[in-house]
Structure 1
């Protein structure tokens, strides 16, 4: 029996989101769509993404139906065939659920398909768009550095030259597409950079071409309004003036650990772990921690990583924390009465939930925006892997030699770097240029955040193909690595 026939027996199905994921995965693995072609399994992240893009209709009082099941499976098929999710949503507007279920194998070859691969005459436009985004990332990071020093952004000669060059290239792209340039204001451009790079947000069709490597890339964090990890890495690759380590407070951390003569490496790791596991704390907890670990000399550094609770942390005057990562939540953009996590690496990112307010007081402290974005967020996987490796007796060391890699295992035989870049092209270019301290380990593993993988189809295949560095690397998901920790390497 094929999947289209199997779906006809599920017409009365109803269930929760988790049950929808399980049912879709069960059907995908047991019934071929056509000629031994099976669909990949579904996840909650996929369901949330499809709902956000209009592929799936809203649930009926938190219950999903056959309509959701069919559209989820049909969308999974089209996406695996190269369709963009925006195209899938448009296609689904034209057909009933019955039609989608009956004609599932033919959907990918119907009239409206994924955007075709561009020909040689359009390659120049893609190259221009690629350079424009690289310059835009570098310009954003430079301008962010100016703002940290107190400079006001004015659209004149004082503005980042890379930002100016990016604006000129973007204007040329609009001209080539026969459009007026709507991004003549740098303030408007930066506001728009808090949205993904797509034609829907920027108005440039070239951003949706398959050969454009940065489609969907986010340059500015929409909540904290600072450069994202991908933006900072692109800026570094573009020879930006930004010293990223200074921005991330690495220099301050190293300076604090250097004060503890004879235990610098241990102090560095203890401080990193504690901050990642405590995005919200109190001054009393900070003082208890440094006293119990004999890190009193680092108290000033720790205090510099936090700030008091402010209005931007609160929802209706109360602080709500994510139950998975502990970071302050925001109002859900999709369900007004609920809240959602803001950390893209978190398994509960942007999922509307009810939340109990967290008590606050004058001593309550919250990690500063750059600490949340660059330490806590990517550190979620690092800490989870470290704790599991401890459980299985793998002699893990967190941040060995003060960040030679994220985790070493088996007495230094294995080095692990955890990556959460949203874009595999950015990651591959970064690793090809330099794998850092990971080079000193016999076995080198790049573990990629599961949420990042779920949001970019073919992520692992792309990064494996694009990486061209001299050292062999093993690429896997964090989930896969977590499972492998249960057996020897």
Structure 2
């Protein structure tokens, strides 16, 4: 067997395959989000090309073809980082071996998948459709409150992924943003049948506010199990905060919103709440999302949930985004990620080669540093 990582040309080929595959998953997800069925015989061209590249790598490594089934490939991408797929070219020391392309639950492209997909394209080619849609709503309210409204809507989505229609409408009216009501409806769906208990009721997760799905392991999950990955890392027991007897009028945000905003947003909200409780004057998503948590031009904190520190370092090197506009800059990594990967922060610091100074630390370390 040839060690592909000993050949710089082979490593480039491997990286290109991973990037094209990432673009394929992004394009496939857009179709699913639009209501299309995953048809193995009518996949997006990028997905077909990515699968063909994976098949070629498998052939060269003399292993079973991982690229011959979109369903099998999606399943392994959801469960494992690419370095554990069994494909030697993707394994360590490949620098992106720790990348996960799809979130486990709900299944959707990860931030890392989006970053890989966007490589080499124009900056806005793969900009999140949700950010664009939300900003379009923000532009329709009076100028004096635009930045505040963006933060209000983002915070509301993260804190209340399951909501009652009338209550949300009252909330939007109270804040003068009824124009967002239709967008919220488009981004959400009725409570899935799989989340309902036998009597038609459903449970809400005490940790993240999402749905608890009935689970066959009733000993460990008597109230059901949350399906939002970062929530399960924080609170594996999945306890219930409330039981809703009748699902009529209740909705939950769609899987891509849960994966893109709610899951990663849990650490942002926790940090924000901790700082506010300690008397630190900060806001969520300040200045039109220039950072996740910050204050004026003084302090900016971005919380990043990448599995692979090397990829995150490269992404931040190329584009630090709005964080550059703050005097004091932090990139905070969820504590659970660093506990699972003890050398994460060291590898991230080595991978970051940007000219702008940034402090890298866990979420809890950032909180202690800011509180003082």
TM-score tier (shorter): 0.7 to 0.9
Shift of the 199–290 alpha-carbon distance from structure 1 to 2, 3 Å rule, reads: closer
CA deviation profile, 1:107-145 (whole Å, cap 9, x unmatched): xxxxxxxxxxx7974665554433322221111112222
Structure 1 residues 260, 228: closer, same or farther in 2, change over 3 A?
Answer: same
- Correspondence list, 1:295-444, <5 A: 295-314=177-196, 318-330=201-213, 338=221, 339-346=224-231, 348=233, 351-353=236-238, 355=240, 358-359=243-244, 360-409=246-295, 411-444=296-329
Structure-1 residue corresponding to 2:77 = 193
What displacement does 1:256 show?
1.8
8 Å CA contact 1:400, 1:408 repeated in 2: yes
1:218 to 100, 103, 110: 100
Compute the displacement of 1:242 (Å).
8.4
| TM-score of the superposed pair, with normalisation by structure 1 | 0.67
CA shift for structure 1 position 348? 4.4
Deviation of the 1:436 alpha carbon: 0.8
Give yes or no for contact 1:138–1:238 (8 Å, CA) kept in 2: no
Give the distance between the partners of 1:335 and 1:226, measured in 2 at CA.
Answer: 27
1:303-356 CA-partner distances (Å, limit 9, x unpaired): 333321121333555523322111113456877762433223236457245657
**Partner of 2:111 in structure 1?**
229
Match of 2:165 in 1: 283
- Structure 1 residue 457: Cα displacement: 3.6
Residue number in structure 1 paired with 2:47:
163
Structure 2: 5+ residue stretches without partners: none
1:466 and 2:360 correspond: no
Larger Rg: 1 or 2? 1
Between 1 and 2, higher relative CO (CA 8 Å, sep ≥ 6) is seen in 2
Give how far 1:446 is off: 0.7
Deviations 1:41-85 (A, max 9, x none): xxxxxxxxxxxxxxxxxxxxxxxxxxxxxxxxxxxxxxxxxxxxx
Partner in structure 1 of residue 68 of structure 2: 184
Distance in 2, Cα, partners of 1:420 & 1:120 = 27
Greater shift, 253-262 or 190-199, is seen at 190-199
Deviation per CA, 1:155-195, whole angstroms, max 9, x where unpaired? 56x64333233223322222222234253233432333222
For residue 223 of structure 1, give the secondary structure of its aligned residue in structure 2: coil
For residue 78 of structure 2, give the secondary structure of its aligned residue in structure 1: coil
Q: Distance in 1 between matches of 2:239 and 2:273?
A: 29
For structure 1, the residue ranges without an aligned partner over 5 or more in a row are 1-117
Deviation per residue, 1:207-230 (Å, 9 max, x gap): 432x12333433223433321222
What is the match of residue 57 of structure 1? none
CA distance in 1, matches of 2:356, 2:150: 27
Cα distance in 2 for residues equivalent to 1:318 and 1:348: 26
**1:283-322 Cα deviation digits (max 9, x unpaired):** 1221231233333333333333332112133355552332
Number of aligned residues = 365
State the Cα deviation string for residues 204-253 of structure 1 (Å, max 9, x = none): 234432x1233343322343332122212221225399854443x11221
| Distance 1:270-1:473 versus aligned 2 partners, 3 A rule | same
TM-score (norm. length: structure 2):
0.86
Structure 1 distance, partners of 2:141, 2:46, is 41
Partners of 1:264 and 1:245 lie apart in 2 by 20
Task: Determine if contact 1:408/1:415 at 8 Å carries over to the other structure.
Answer: yes
Structure 2 counterpart SS, 1:452: helix
**Root-mean-square deviation over aligned CA pairs:** 3.0
